[in-house]
Structure 1
């Protein structure tokens, strides 16, 4: 299975004003990933669901949204398929967070590009309270394993930004920056926990002694940790229409530049460089006039499609 195989399912317009968003993953040996993809595709055609699910030999990963009945249906189906220890979190969105429903067949459920064994080599899981105690220490290296644009929206106090544009770059970051710290305590975190499953496995494989990660990721931390006890700063970038969430997993104030994908604060949206769907302070100098013209055409088509649906 070398290439991504993606299939789409139709998504009906939901009448409810609130969408339930479920983020889930589990590393588990899948005997026939292609067959599971087809079973999922058949199921989601019968329910009102949008989002993305990634299926691979090593497990399942994704975020989906729908009404309560649809989310319960997909959740129960996966439980029945043996995904009984899924890392599973729910939140709410006032608007439809995804345009389509995609079922992808891939080599990895999160692409690191280096073979690791997250089911066999696992770091120390920490709950939010234990996490706060650990990262407050001076002898801990705290690393944000997410991408640079995610770090920009918010991170834990004192966290290192590896400045990666994709998770595939993380192994090289480890080689270049962490090899000399194998005897140190290393704590890592990501949005929902899945990237840290592979990150900790990678470090243990490379001979690091003490590796820790936040169980359930930032989303679980924001759900369970009172604001007054939190060491989180800013908002948590999410890969759906909400852009970012904050404590209580409530929708944040950041919005997304649909030209480059970077999260924007209200102050950055107010800058002259911002044009909806066309440019922002981070990309206005990086695209040509021809590209900007194409972005404006795309936004016009999106707006027309929305008006047609109303």
Structure 2
């Protein structure tokens, strides 16, 4: 029986990936469909993707699949045909190819079974996730941006919105998608008769959000097909203006794809224009925040003098100081002026 999980250390796997000479393609995809046996589906898919040297993060649930992966360029077409043939619902699955890609996004394949492919917190048994809003292609998105009766709603987390968004898009200022859904319904009550256009990174969150809005009585609901990634790709291919400004945050080692040259965010330490997300280098912190090159040098890639001090200690002293202290990937929330202790969990 084949091994169905990784047995090598992260350090070794990352070193192997960085030593590769063949370029890789980073791609994301998702599909809502019924999977009767997610565990068996997961195991068979793990074997198939491992044979093609695919790295990345894939979630499987009874409601479908959600994946962000990298694949050797020579195996890309084989990977597509493998997925298309793997299940009838995956035939001709839309692939969102990364826009700003150095191929170094992942170094191991992690394929997990979850309750949901996107944690939504929905407990209403009458909710129909397939009753989604209308898809919008790139040209239609640009037309909607000029429509005074259209309201664009960003269904990404606050730190994603901070570095890039459509002009005048509504921010739903929550740390998680599950918190955003009820908040969006409340915030949009006064716009119930307008055209509600929802968007996200690759489409998976805004598609479900559009169904949730329809479930809550909103009738004119739309969402951008393939999210920001597909919109920007198609707009460029068709010679259309790309109206998204700034960076598109992504949940891999890159932490961002450059969509436009606009820098709309600021360093969280000095306030200089900057949209580069980093994690605090101190193992006892790992805060996700925006840091400019000057502050990275000044603070030794840490978020604060306290973390600088801790990082300078011996490994034994660092472990002693962290003992019993709650830790996890934390996120800076500029609206609170403090960090949020919400875990940095990829949702797309």
Query: Which TM bucket (shorter chain)?
Result: 0.7 to 0.9
Confirm whether residue 86 of structure 1 aligns to residue 93 of structure 2: yes
Larger deviation, residues 84-93 vs 190-199: 84-93
1:245 to 257, 266, 272: 257
Structure 2 equivalent of residue 191 of structure 1 = 201
Evaluate the alpha carbon distance shift between residue 258 and residue 150 of structure 1 in structure 2; reply closer, same or farther with a 3 A threshold: same
Whether 1:103 and 2:111 are equivalent positions in the alignment is: yes
Residues 84 and 257 (structure 1 numbering): CA distance in 2 closer, same or farther, change over 3 Å? same
Q: Which residue, 7, 12, 35 being the options, matches 1:30?
A: 35
Residue 130 of structure 1 corresponds to: 140
Q: Alpha-carbon deviation of 1:136?
A: 1.5
CA contact (8 A) 1:184 1:210 kept: yes
2: CA distance between counterparts of 1:152 and 1:102? 28
Superposed counterparts of 1:13-24, under 5 Å = 13=17, 15-24=20-29
Contact kept in structure 1, 2:97 and 2:229, CA below 8 Å: no
- The alpha carbon displacement at 1:110 in A equals 1.2
Q: 1:178 aligns with which of 188, 195, 198?
A: 188
Q: For 1:1-310, list aligned pairs within 5 A.
A: 7-8=5-6, 13=17, 15-80=20-85, 81-82=87-88, 83-91=90-98, 93-115=101-123, 116-119=127-130, 121-226=131-236, 229-247=241-259, 254-259=275-280, 260-264=287-291, 268-271=292-295, 275=299, 277-279=301-303, 284=304, 288-289=306-307, 292-293=310-311
Runs of 5+ consecutive residues of structure 1 not aligned to the other structure: 1-5, 298-310
Take 1:168 and 1:274, find their aligned partners in 2: how far apart are those partners?
A: 37
Alignment correspondent of 2:265: none
Q: Residues 105-130 of structure 1: CA distance to partner in whole angstroms, max 9, x if unpaired? A: 011111111154232x1101110110
SS of structure 2 residue aligned to 1:103:
strand
Partners of 2:47 and 2:5 in 1: CA distance = 11
Determine if contact 2:152/2:198 at 8 Å carries over to the other structure.
yes
What's the offset of the Cα at 1:65? 0.3
Aligned length, in residue pairs: 280
Check the 8 A contact 2:173/2:180 in 1, yes or no: no
Counterpart CA distance in 2 for 1:84 and 1:200 is 24
Cα distance change of structure 1 residues 139 and 294 upon mapping to structure 2, 3 Å threshold: farther
Residues 186-244 of structure 1, C-alpha deviations (whole Å, 9 max, x = no match)? 11100101101100000000000100111111001111224871211111111122221
Structure 2: where are the runs of 5+ without partners?
Answer: 261-273, 281-286, 316-348
What SS class does the counterpart of residue 51 from structure 2 fall into? Answer: coil
- d(CA) in 1 for partners of 2:297, 2:27: 34
- 3-state DSSP class of the match of 2:152? strand
Could you tell me how far apart the structure 2 residues matched to 1:89 and 1:24 are?
6
- Considering only aligned residues, what root-mean-square deviation do their CA atoms show, in Å? 3.0
User: What is the CA-CA distance between 1:46 and the residue it aligns to?
Assistant: 2.5
